[in-house]
Amino acid sequence: MKKTITGFHAIEEILRAEKIKIEKERNSKSSLEIFYSKEGPRVKKILEAGRKLNLKIEKKENNFLDSLTKTLPEQLRDHRGVVLLTGVQNQKRGMSLDEFSAKLAEKDSAFVVILDSITDPHNTGSIIRSADQFGIDGIIVPENKSAGGFEIISKVSAGAAAWVPYVEATNLVRTVEMLKKEGFWIYGADAGGKPLPDLKFPKKTALIMGSEGKGMSRLVEETCDEIVSIPTKGKLDSLNVSVAAGILLYEISRKKEK
């Protein structure tokens, strides 16, 4: 099934990722398609990258692009003259949980982030951008109670989702138990946890970030081996979840055993 991607950053990063994939997998052919209605500077850059990959590229009327995006959430319908159609299964971040587990089994050291019911796509996008910067091995979200499908995440993460594996799980509790069997130590983020500076982190670490309002669900929190918190001195209730995630990802990446 094709996914409809809008947004210059998102399209550019997916094309960059596709170029690397094709270079690694010789003789492979991309299934990506580009449709455009006008050639502004950014669109020209996208078309040039697409031609180098031998993608299907077609010029269409603006109303055709409108028809491609009409079923997307409102914030994604402004295509600005270019749309990318992509099969998620062909992209790095679209792997299944079983495929992701197999990849993790090959690693001696890994860092995974689990988002428990974070429903604001901008928070999810910010966390994925941080995950890209700090070399996180993947983001796991629930199929339900998440920030939306890949089209939304691709755009709000400004293309970072092209580089960070993005895995949807049907049951987070079972997913955490699977990670434990793979040797992961599970940390949940919560204001009442052990201070971040007091902890060391093993080679295989998973961090769970809870929802914006309620935090982690009870059943997910019960799977944690340790609860970690960020020491703060402010007068407000707490840090925004994406800000907290950025701090935790940096510190855990820095302190984690290699």
What would the pLDDT profile of 64-122 be if each residue is shown by its tens digit? Answer: 999 998 887 777 788 999 999 986 444 434 567 888 888 888 889 999 999 998 877 77
| Residue at a domain's end among 68, 90, 112 | 90
From the number of C-beta atoms within 10 Å of its C-beta (0-12, 13-18, 19+), residue 32 rates as buried
pLDDT of the residue at 59: 93
Q: Are residues 17 and 140 in the same domain?
A: no
Bridge-based pairing state of the strands 82-87 and 33-36: antiparallel
CATH number at residue 99: 3.40.1280.10
As a whole number, mean pLDDT of residues 29-38 equals 88
Q: Which residue has the higher pLDDT, 258 or 54?
A: 54
Structural domains in the chain (count): 2
Q: Are residues 127 and 182 in the same domain?
A: yes
pLDDT of the residue at 121: 78
Q: Please give the residue range of the domain that contains residue 33.
A: 2-90
Does the pTM surpass 0.75? The reply is no
Q: Are residues 216 and 179 in the same domain?
A: yes
